[in-house]
Chains A and B, each alone.
Chain A
Amino acid sequence: MRPPRTRKKAPPRPSRKTPVAIVRRILESYARRGVFRSFSQTSSGGKAHFRFRWLWNLPFRATFQGKALRFENLLPAIPPGSELHAGLQAFIEGCQSDQRPEHRRIDPRRLAVQFSNRRLCFRVVGTDYEYGVRKAIHLVNEIFLSYLSAEHPQFLVRHFAVPEE
C-alpha cells in the first residue's frame, strides 16, 4: 500500500475581507476607473500607506491602521482659530447633518471624522469599511471642490498651485 500523499499547505492568502484588503480594494477601484491617475501601496510598522494622484493631478497620501484612514498633511497652513479653520470645521460638520440628502451625508454612527493640525482622520465605527473609505474619499473630494474651490480659491492657489485664473 502506498503511503498517502501529504499535501503541502499553501501559505495563507490575505483575506479579501480583512479591513486593509477592503480599503485597498476600494482605493484601487478608483485607480482602475481612472479617477486616481496612479496608485501604490506599501506597508510598514503595521500601517498600510497609499499613494495616488487625484484632483488636479496632485499627489495624495493616506495611511490605514486599525480602523483609521488618515490623510496626513492634507490641508497645510490653516491656523487653528482662523476663519478658514472654522469654516472647514463647519463644512465637515455640515456633511454629517440630517439636512443633507442621504446620498451626500456621512453617518456619524458609521464613520467618525476628525480634522486637526493638517490631518483629516476617518475612523470606521463598526465594520463597514467600504462605506468608510468611500465616504472618506467623497469628503476629501467635496472639501477641495465644493468648499475650498468655491469659498477659498486663494488657499488652493497658494498651497496647491491650482491656477488662479
Chain B
Amino acid sequence: MDNEHKREPGSRREFLSRSIVVAGALGAAHQVAAAAETAPAPIRLPEAIPAALRAPGKPAAFPMRGGQVFAKVCKEEGLAALFCCPGNYEVINSLCEEGIPCYGGRTEGSMCAAADGFIRVTGEIAACSGTEGPGFTNMIMNIAAAHAARTPLLVLASNKRLSEEDAEGGIQTVYQQPTTEGMRKYGKRLIDPLRVHEYAAYAFRQLKTGVPRPVHLDFPQEISGARFKDPSELRFFHEKSRYRTDARPHPDPKRIRALAEMIRKAQRPMIVASTGVFYSRAWSALKTVAEKADIAVCESGTSRGHFSDAHPLSASTAPGALMSADLVIFAGQYSMPSVGEYNFSPDAKFARIDPDAADIGRNWPIDLGIVSCEKAALQALAEAVSPAKRPTWAAELAAERKKFEDQNDTYYNTGLGYQDAVHPAVIARQLSDFLYRGSLPKEQTTVVSGGYGIARYARRFLRAYRPGQICNGAYQYGAIGPDCGYAFGVSAAVQLGVGPQAPYKGAPIIGITGDAGFAYSGMEIETMMKYRVPAVMIVYNNNAWGIMSQGKPIHMYLFQENLRYDKIGEALGARGEYVAKPEEFLPALRRSYEIAAKERISTVINCQAKREFWQGSQHPPGFLGKVEPGCMAYAH
C-alpha cells in the first residue's frame, strides 16, 4: 500500500484537489509531464508485458496436468483466442503455453464480451475464463448475450475442489452449472479427472455442430491439477476425427426443387441472410444464388457484411422494399421474429433454411422448411434455381435505397442545425463519410455498433461490404454496456487477422457506445492500451440513460451533466478527444484514427450531446424508430 492511501482522509476539498491533480496528470500521459512537485509518474507499460508476449510458448508433453490435457484439445481444435482475468490458473496458463493468443483484461464480464465480439466478426471459436464464484458470476450478463446471439463461445471457470463440495470452505463458492441453465447449449462441472479429454471433446462437438451457443465447463482443482504420466492414464484420448464429425446436414433435394419452383413463380423474392449464413461461411453460395435468379438479399444477425451493401440486389438499406417481397427465404435466422417484428407482407410466402428441424416453424409461420446447413442448402439452391432476370424488382430496390439515403440526408441536415451540442445524426453521417467515402478502402474498417439511442442513428449510416465488418453489439439480448469489451475482442481479431479479418490485419477499429454503456466496460480501454490493440471509441454522451422517456421520477434516469469520458480514456493511458460542437467531430475522428493506425494508440472521443435530442417534438427528428430486417435490425 502506498503512502497516499495510508494517509488519514482530509477534508472533502483536499480530496477533490488531490483527485483533480491525479486525473489531470494522468491525462497528459502521452505528453511531457509538466514539472510539478506533485506530478505522478507517467503511465507506462512494464517491460514484463512485452517480454511475456514475445516469449515462445511451451506446448505440453506427457507427463501433463489436467489443464494441459484440456489446453491441448483446444489447440488441436483451433481455439482462436482466450480472453480472461486471473483465476482458473492451470487452464489459462496451459492455453497460453500452447500458443493460443491470450488476453488478460480488467473484468471477467468484459472479457466474456471480448470473446463474443471476436467470434462474431471471425466465425472462429474463442474462450473466456474467470475465477470461481465472483469471476464467473461477473460473466453472466455477457454469457446471456452470447447465448441470445447464438455465439459459439467456450466459457471456462475454475471451481474449488470436489473435496470441498457443499462445505463453503474458504471463499468464492458457487454452483456454476445451475447458474448458466437457460443461457448455454451445453454445460458440465467436470468431476472425474480421467475424463478431462472426453469432456473437452463434448465441448467442441457442441461448439462445432448445429446452431451454436455457449458451452460452459467448470474445473474443480482435482481436474485441472490432476497429473497424468502418459495417455494410458486418461480414460478417453482420441484424435478429433474420432470424437466428432465435420459432416453437415444436407438438404432434401425435393425440398430444394420445391423452393426453386417457389422462386421461379415469385416476382419479388428475397433472402434474409442471418447469423447462420455467416457461421457456415455461405457468403459465396449466397451471392451465386442471388445473382442467378435476381433474388434480393437483406441481412440480419449478430454481424453484417456477408452480403455487401453495395450489391445492386442488397435490400439491407432499402427498408421500404421489404413489404414488396412476395417470397421470403429465412437462411440461418436463428433468433426468429414473430409476426409484426419483421416488415413483411401478410401475403408473402415464407421458407426457412435451418440446421435445426425443431426450430423451423417457431414464431413465424412457414410454407416450406428445409433442414440443412445454410451453406449446403444455398449451394444446392444455386444449382437448382432457374436463371431469371427481375429488372423491375432490382429497380424498386434501387429506388428504395435512394429513398432511405435521402431520409438520412434529411436527418443529417437537421442535426447540423444544432450548434449547442453534437447531434447523433452528425456523428453517424460524418463517421460514415470518413469510413466509406474518404481515403480509406470502404471494406477496411471493422465497426462495433453499440449504444442505445445513438445506435438508432449509427445503424442507419454504417455500411458493411464484406463478412464480419460490423459487430451488431446489442443484438437480441440488448445488453447495454459490453461495447468496450466487444471492441477489444474485435480489435484483437483484426490485429491477428483471423478469418474474414485477414485482409485488414492490423487496421484500427471503430467502436460506438453511449455514456450509460461506457460505465460497464470502459476500463477495457486500459486493456486496449496494454496490448496496443487500437480502437477509436466514440462515446455519445447525452447525460442520461437512453431509456429516460420512462423517467418518473427523473433522477433515476439522469447523470451529472458534462462528464468527461475522454478524461477517463486519458487516465487509462489512451488518448481523449472532447467534442462539443458538430464541426469538431470529424477532425477529432481523423486525428484519432491516424494515431491508432500509426502508433496503435486508442482514443476515447467524448461527444457531448444532450438528452433533449430524444424529444422529437422540440428537437426533431428525435428518437428514431426502426425497421427490421436490414441495417437497422438488432432485435432479431
Contacts and interface: CB of A to CB of B under 8 A. Distances in A.
Given A33-B365, A165-B478, A146 B324 contact: no
Given A164-B549, A165-B547, A153 B340 contact: no
Interface in A138-165: 138, 141-142, 144-146, 148-154, 157, 164-165
Contacts of A104: 323-324
A35 B339 contact: yes
Interface string A77-88: 000000100000
A104 B366 CA distance: 22
B451 interface: no
Given A35-B365, A57-B338, A154 B346 contact: no
A146 B626 contact: no
A83 B620 CA distance: 12
A153 B626 contact: yes
Interface in A107-159: 134, 137-138, 141-142, 144-146, 148-154, 157
Nearest to A141: B346
A93 B338 CA distance: 28
Nearest to B396: A101
A17 interface: no
B319 interface: yes
A4 interface: no
Given A33-B365, A138-B345, A138-B346, A164 B547 contact: yes
A54 B340 contact: yes
A154 B549 contact: yes
A15 B324 CA distance: 33
Given A101-B324, A138-B346, A165-B547, A154 B623 contact: yes
Given A35-B365, A57-B338, A134 B347 contact: yes
Nearest to A53: B339
A104 B399 CA distance: 14
Given A54-B340, A142-B323, A152 B625 contact: yes
B341 interface: yes
A54 B625 CA distance: 20
Nearest to A157: B549
A151 B326 CA distance: 24
Interface residues of B, number: 32
B497 to A, nearest CB: 35
A146 B343 contact: yes
Given A149-B625, A150-B627, A165-B478, A30 B340 contact: no
A55 B339 contact: yes
B341 to A, nearest CB: 7
Interface string A25-63: 000001001110100000000000000001111100000
B346 A150 contact: no
A145 B346 contact: no
Given A150-B319, A164-B549, A56 B324 contact: no
B627 A54 contact: no
B99 interface: no
Nearest to A156: B625
A103 interface: yes
A44 to B, nearest CB: 27
Contacts of A146: 319-320, 323, 343, 627
Given A104-B324, A137-B346, A138-B346, A56 B625 contact: no
A150 B626 contact: yes
Contact of A56 (B323, B338, B549): B338
Contacts of B326: 103
A138 B347 CA distance: 8
A54 B626 contact: no
A20 B324 CA distance: 28
Contacts of A145: 323, 340, 343, 627
A13 to B, nearest CB: 28
A63 B323 CA distance: 25
B38 interface: no
B626 A149 contact: yes
A153 B549 CA distance: 12
A-side interface mostly: helix
Contact of B345 (A56, A101, A141, A157): A141
Nearest to B627: A150
B550 interface: yes
Contacts of B626: 149-150, 153
A144 B340 contact: yes
Contacts of B339: 34-35, 37, 54-55
Nearest to B319: A150
Contact of A35 (B324, B346, B396, B547): B346
Nearest to B622: A154
A129 to B, nearest CB: 16
Interface in B540-570: 547, 549-550
A54 B344 CA distance: 13
A98 B478 CA distance: 40
A74 to B, nearest CB: 14
A54 B341 CA distance: 11
Max chain B C-beta neighbours (<10 A), residue from A37, A134, A141? A141
Interface string B57-85: 00000000000000000000000000000
A103 to B, nearest CB: 6
Interface string B471-488: 000000010000000000
Contacts of B268: 103
A34 B347 CA distance: 11
B346 A56 contact: no
A153 B625 contact: yes
A152 to B, nearest CB: 7
Nearest to A30: B346
A141 B339 CA distance: 10
A152 B319 CA distance: 16
A142 B324 CA distance: 11
B360 to A, nearest CB: 13
Nearest to B546: A165
A138 B345 CA distance: 7
A33 B364 CA distance: 10
Contacts of B367: 33
Max chain B C-beta neighbours (<10 A), residue from A101, A145, A149, A150? A145
B323 A153 contact: no
Contact of B324 (A30, A54, A83, A103): A103
Interface of B: 267-268, 319-320, 323-324, 326, 338-341, 343, 345-347, 364-367, 392, 396, 452, 478, 547, 549-550, 617, 623-627
Interface of A: 30, 33-35, 37, 54-58, 83, 101, 103-104, 134, 137-138, 141-142, 144-146, 148-154, 157, 164-165
Given A56-B340, A103-B267, A138-B346, 8 more contacts: A35-B365, A54-B340, A101-B396, A104-B323, A146-B343, A149-B627, A153-B623, A165-B547
26 contacts: A34-B366, A35-B339, A35-B346, A37-B339, A54-B339, A54-B340, A55-B339, A56-B340, A101-B324, A101-B392, A103-B268, A103-B324, A104-B323, A134-B347, A137-B346, A138-B345, A138-B347, A141-B345, A145-B323, A145-B627, A148-B625, A150-B627, A153-B623, A154-B549, A157-B549, A165-B452
